[in-house]
Structure 1
Amino acid sequence: MKVDLNASLIDSEEAFLSVMDSGFLYGYAIYETFYVLHGKVAFFEEHISRFLQACDFLKINLKEGFSQLLKDRMKRLIHENQFQKGRLRFTFSSGTTLPWTEVVKPTELLSLHPLLNEANQIRLCISKYKKPTKTVLPPFVKYTANYPSVLSFREAKERGYDEALLVNSDEFLSEGSFCNLFFISKEGVLKTPSLDCAILDGVTRKMIIQAAKTLGIQIEEGKYRMDELLDAKFIYISSSTRGLMPAVCLEEKQYDYEEAYIAVETLQKSFLELQETSLTYF
């Protein structure tokens, strides 16, 4: 498998970073994960918009025409590897430049990966770890040094689950290890934690909210306690590579997959149409 390291196609086994790279030394790196389907990238513009926001916040100046150059590199990498479906990750660090100085020669890595899990349902547990409510980073910065996500994911695997849900330090629902959270309340309202709950401003989350509003589905963003989630009719997670996925359990509590799927079938169809349309723009 070839990767793109700083615009050069290299066999993954032969691609190396400097030991002085700030992503390695300081964890000063951001990334985007794209879903590849039919050899094309879904929601490219939405992901890049978020990435550019992050760069602006971190005061990273990119070369002119960066987005188009990156798209061209992605197309070349996908074609070179004859890659049809999976994950494309773009990782960006300030290179050997110290994080508090101007970025001169960043490290840019494009890599292709199989999907971690192609199941159509997920088993969730509640993590002992918490997301810090007060953070210096806004929700549109997707950064690599995300210990709550890594530790809670490992915790879930060790306990026999697929992923873990976390609350924040104020005990409000936050998100999953590597996903956003949705649920249908006992009153029948589709709900998701708001951006001030220490969550990532997920692209898929945003598109699902957009689709729900277009369909006239009642959807609410807010602050919720774990008790409300435990009383919910159904629970779902969302991510770039999994779309909107029903949970079949949260700890010992079981949920009927068919009923959970039917409850959001129209929304799921609308989201998939948006996803399919986005492929035509890549």
Structure 2
Amino acid sequence: MSTVYLNGQFIPEEEAKVSVFDRGFLFGDSVYEVVPYYQGVGFRLQEHIDRLAHSLRAVSIKNAQDWQAIMDKLVALNGGGNLSVYLQVTRGSAGKRSHAYGDELEPTIFACCTDIKDVWQAGVDEVVPLKAIVTEDLRWHRCDIKSTCLLPNILVLQQAKDEGVQEALFSRDGKLTEGSACNLFLVKRGVIYTPKRSSEILGGITRELILELADQHGIQYQEIDIDYERLLAADEVWVSSSTRGVIPIVEIDGQQIGEGNKGPVWMRMFTLFSGFQRALMTGSK
């Protein structure tokens, strides 16, 4: 039985209950973060808290909590070690269903933990590359807000599954933005390219780490607009997320990418990324 946090209390998960009139349940009127903890210590915790504050400010939900204290204690109560914290903040419940809301609402705050997968243990040879499709980006224009309104993401991922592939990439006005729950990278002639930060994509913490590692190890990268033709002409395509790490894509819309296998730049980045994660997970960094 795991411990969760709900509105000021640390309780067994079976005891956690939220009102059916909560706006997060009725309207998806809520935001969230997923924060990795290695050896009981939050990874890039301040960056996650800053992104949460950005999301809360953007949707005008109160931000008056000691988020680190909540997450630190929750991780400790669940045994510490290597865990990820899912933290969700809704606008709260007014005791009725109404689109309008007043300033008196108190946010509903929920958090739980899950084990972190040891991405680094698999090694380069055991990583299974993905196949993907490109779909129209029907999401709203504030993808920089980490909102729980994920229906478009769910639908395109199901579309990908129905077509026998594992990932869907979004395209808006002729430009690639990101994946269903991941950031996008491509490689051409040894240079990494990724879509520019904007309100059309979520600034991923793993994305920033990849660029930081590239900078530290002399791998060139550029943040640019990426169209469909440039995507299909890439030597390598990858996606990244905090839960999956860095994964290569070898086929898009039935067309082979590059040589159709894991590329050398991805192999180098996976080695750098997994080594960085391994050091955190084992306490050797």
How would you bin the TM-score normalised by the shorter chain?
Answer: 0.7 to 0.9
3-state secondary structure, aligned to 1:45? helix
Shift of 1:272: 4.3
For 2:108, the equivalent position in structure 1 comes to: 107
Q: Which moved more, 1:269-278 or 1:33-42?
A: 269-278
**Residues 135, 168 of structure 2: 8 Å contact kept:** no
Which letter does structure 2 place at the counterpart of 1:164? A
Which letter does structure 1 place at the counterpart of 2:149? A
For 1:153, the equivalent position in structure 2 comes to: 157
For 1:142, the equivalent position in structure 2 comes to: 146
Which letter does structure 1 place at the counterpart of 2:73? R
Shift of 1:11: 3.0
- CA–CA separation in structure 1 for the residues paired with 2:23 and 2:229: 41
Which letter does structure 1 place at the counterpart of 2:196? S
Shift of 1:201: 0.9
Structure 1 residues 42-53: aligned runs within 5 Å? 42-53=43-54
Alpha-carbon RMSD: 3.0
Q: 1:7 to 1:197 in 2, by over 3 A?
A: closer
3-state secondary structure, aligned to 2:181? coil
Q: Which moved more, 1:50-59 or 1:264-273?
A: 264-273
Which letter does structure 2 place at the counterpart of 1:46? E
For 1:18, the equivalent position in structure 2 comes to: 19
* Structure 1 residue 29 corresponds to structure 2 residue 26: no
Shift of 1:190: 0.6
* Structure 1 residue 90 corresponds to structure 2 residue 93: no
For 1:178, the equivalent position in structure 2 comes to: 181
For 2:170, the equivalent position in structure 1 comes to: 166
Structure 2 runs not aligned, ≥5 long: 120-125
Shift of 1:278: 6.5
For 2:210, the equivalent position in structure 1 comes to: 208
Q: How many residues align?
A: 270
TM-score normalised by the chain length of structure 2: 0.81
| Same amino acid, percent of matched pairs | 29
Q: 1:101 to 1:222 in 2, by over 3 A?
A: farther
Shift of 1:138: 5.8
3-state secondary structure, aligned to 1:121? coil
Q: 1:95 to 1:277 in 2, by over 3 A?
A: farther
- CA–CA separation in structure 2 for the residues paired with 1:121 and 1:142: 28
- CA–CA separation in structure 2 for the residues paired with 1:77 and 1:253: 48
Shift of 1:173: 0.6
- CA–CA separation in structure 2 for the residues paired with 1:128 and 1:173: 9
For 1:222, the equivalent position in structure 2 comes to: 224
Deviations 1:11-52 (A, max 9, x none): 333321101111112211000122344555433222112111
For 1:247, the equivalent position in structure 2 comes to: 249
Q: 1:43 to 1:103 in 2, by over 3 A?
A: farther
3-state secondary structure, aligned to 1:264? helix
Structure 1 runs not aligned, ≥5 long: none
3-state secondary structure, aligned to 1:148? helix
- CA–CA separation in structure 2 for the residues paired with 1:125 and 1:271: 23
Q: 1:103 to 1:231 in 2, by over 3 A?
A: farther
- CA–CA separation in structure 2 for the residues paired with 1:86 and 1:129: 34
- CA–CA separation in structure 2 for the residues paired with 1:208 and 1:179: 13
**Residues 41, 72 of structure 2: 8 Å contact kept:** no
TM-score normalised by the chain length of structure 1: 0.82
For 2:198, the equivalent position in structure 1 comes to: 196
- CA–CA separation in structure 2 for the residues paired with 1:278 and 1:45: 17
Q: Which moved more, 1:153-162 or 1:94-103?
A: 94-103
